[in-house]
Amino acid sequence: MSQDAINFRDKLSLLSEQWSPRVVAEMNDYQFKLVKIQGQFVWHSHADTDEVFIVLNGQMSIEMRDKTVLLTAGEMYVVGKGIEHRPSAAQECSVLLVEPRGVVNTGDAGGAYTAANDIWI
Amino acid sequence: MSQDAINFRDKLSLLSEQWSPRVVAEMNDYQFKLVKIQGQFVWHSHADTDEVFIVLNGQMSIEMRDKTVLLTAGEMYVVGKGIEHRPSAAQECSVLLVEPRGVVNTGDAGGAYTAANDIWI
């Protein structure tokens, strides 16, 4: 657990690779991860958990099979457990993810976008 | 669970009473709560859980027995399980709290600042 204030801007400045979540804090068995995204991710779902997106900078969309949610800085959304979703962003967008420790970014889908897990910045 | 984007500014505009957390989202058995704070809270701790503070607007401090952490907008801090802490803010400050459903704001301390729980805005 971090011992001091965690500054999102400072942490984001350390993060160059897109679609690669990095852990900045833990609360109980949950992790807070920063990620920069741009372009279109893969369709995937997480069978065992909800997933929270909090947009810090920019704008993104979360496409689901029945609707698309647009998120801008200062907005959050909870993707329900098991719901297929595909995040995307036209311009680079910075996001704070909240999910249980061990969740893999591509969920059930795997593939080239699958990032190493549990890496802190 | 909310079905659309949750806009913090819009939600905060509905929140007048200070020190009264209001739920805006749930993820699994965790809740995301907005709260406006000003002045000095009571010393308290939460025996069973860590607690996350994410500052959205303004500035606050979290006094602990061995140190004080200053948080400004765009910063977060995790108060560890069982750690006594006393939040305060000279000017009104808006905070996003993350903690398990059922956590009471004054923890073990009780008293006049104890807010009704599980109220959504």
Domain residue limits, chain A: 22-100
As averages over each run of 10 residues, the pLDDT of chain A (121 residues) reads 81 96 97 98 96 98 97 98 98 98 92 92 94
d(CA A117, CA A113) in angstroms, rounded, equals 12
What is the average pLDDT across B6-26? 97
Per-residue pLDDT at B44 exceeds 70: yes
Q: What angle do CA B72, A12, B79 make, to 5 degrees?
A: 45
Query: Between the CA of residue B88 and those of A110, A121, B43, what are the distances in Å?
Result: 45, 28, 10
Per-residue pLDDT at B8 exceeds 70: yes
Rounded to two decimals, the pTM is 0.96
Structure tokens given for B117: 């729980």
Residue A2's pLDDT is what?
A: 42
Greater confidence (B30 vs B117) lies with: B30
The CATH fold of domain B8-100: Jelly Rolls (2.60.120)
Question: What is the number of CB-based contacts under 8 A between chain A and chain B?
Answer: 90
Residue A6's pLDDT is what?
A: 98
Beta carbons of B78 and A4 less than 8 Å apart: no
- Kindly report, residue by residue over B69-109, the tens digit of the pLDDT: 999 999 999 999 999 999 999 999 999 999 999 999 999 99
Query: Between the CA of residue B99 and those of A12, A71, A88, B27, B69, what are the distances in Å?
Result: 24, 23, 28, 10, 19
Confidence band for B2, pLDDT divided at 50, 70 and 90: very low
Percent of chain A's residues with pLDDT above 70: 98
Q: Is A66 on the interface with B (CB under 8 A)?
A: no
H or E element in which residue A59 lies: strand A59-64
d(CA B5, CA A9) in angstroms, rounded, equals 23
Q: Tokens 């709290």 — which residue?
A: B97
Pairing mode, strands B75-79 and B51-57: antiparallel
Q: Which of B13, B27, B52, B57 to mutate to test the interface with A (most CBs of A within 10 A)?
A: B27
Q: Which residues of A touch B28 (CB under 8 A)?
A: 49-50, 81, 100
How many angstroms separate the CA of residue B28 from the nearest CA in chain A?
6
For B70, the closest chain A residue by CA position comes to A5
Percent of chain B's residues with pLDDT above 70: 98
Q: How far is CA A83 from the centre of its chain?
A: 15
Residue A1's pLDDT is what?
A: 40
Residue B1's pLDDT is what?
A: 40
Beta carbons of A70 and B5 less than 8 Å apart: yes
How many angstroms separate the CA of residue B117 from the nearest CA in chain A?
20
Say what the alpha-carbon torsion angle A84, B4, A12, B91 is, to the nearest 10 degrees.
-160
Q: Which of A53, A19, A34, A57 is nearest to A121 (CA)?
A: A34
d(CA A57, CA B74) in angstroms, rounded, equals 11
The CATH number of domain A22-100, selected from 3.20.20.70, 3.30.70.141, 2.60.120.10, 3.30.390.30 = 2.60.120.10
Dmax (CA) for chain A in angstroms is: 42
Beta carbons of B27 and A70 less than 8 Å apart: no
